[in-house]
């Protein structure tokens, strides 16, 4: 279990498992290729609306000039986490 603060500064518990590990790798891959956190907008904080949009399929656009092999890792990571059945079709 991992503790984190929500917008009201209350502590929430979230479970850590293989899916959270895979998701975290995707976030790291994104940050390496873009130089910033996913969905970063200067002087704005993440909110529940963004979380809902992400859960409904919102994705960042791959950074221009990112090598295809690298972006395939990022895309494959997304499918592994959210749509494992579709992964067979892609790869």
pLDDT of 71 over the 70 cut: yes
12 within some domain: no
Q: CA angle, corner 86, sides to 85 and 88, nearest 5?
A: 85
Q: Is residue 11 part of a domain?
A: no
Q: State which residues form the domain around 40.
A: 17-90
- What value does the mean pLDDT of the chain take? 74
The more confident residue out of 63 and 81 is 63
The span from the CA of 72 to the CA of 63, in Å, is 12
In a domain, 77, yes or no: yes
DSSP 44: -
Number of domains into which the chain is organized: 1
Which pTM does this prediction carry?
0.56
- Structural domain includes residue 80: yes
Assigned token pair, 43: 């002087």
Q: Is residue 3 part of a domain?
A: no
- From CA 23, how far away is CA 25, in angstroms rounded? 5
| 80 has pLDDT over 50 | yes
Q: Is residue 45 part of a domain?
A: yes
Q: How much of the chain exceeds pLDDT 90, in percent?
A: 1
């Amino acid at each position: 279990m991992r503790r984190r603060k929500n917008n009201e500064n209350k502590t929430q518990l979230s479970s850590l498992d293989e899916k959270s590990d895979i998701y975290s790798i995707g976030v790291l891959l994104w940050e390496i290729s873009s130089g910033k956190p996913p969905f970063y907008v200067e002087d704005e904080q993440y909110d529940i609306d963004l979380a809902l949009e992400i859960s409904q399929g919102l994705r960042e656009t791959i950074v221009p000039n990112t090598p295809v092999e690298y972006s395939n890792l990022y895309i494959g990571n997304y499918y592994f986490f959210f749509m494992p059945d579709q992964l067979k079709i892609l790869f």
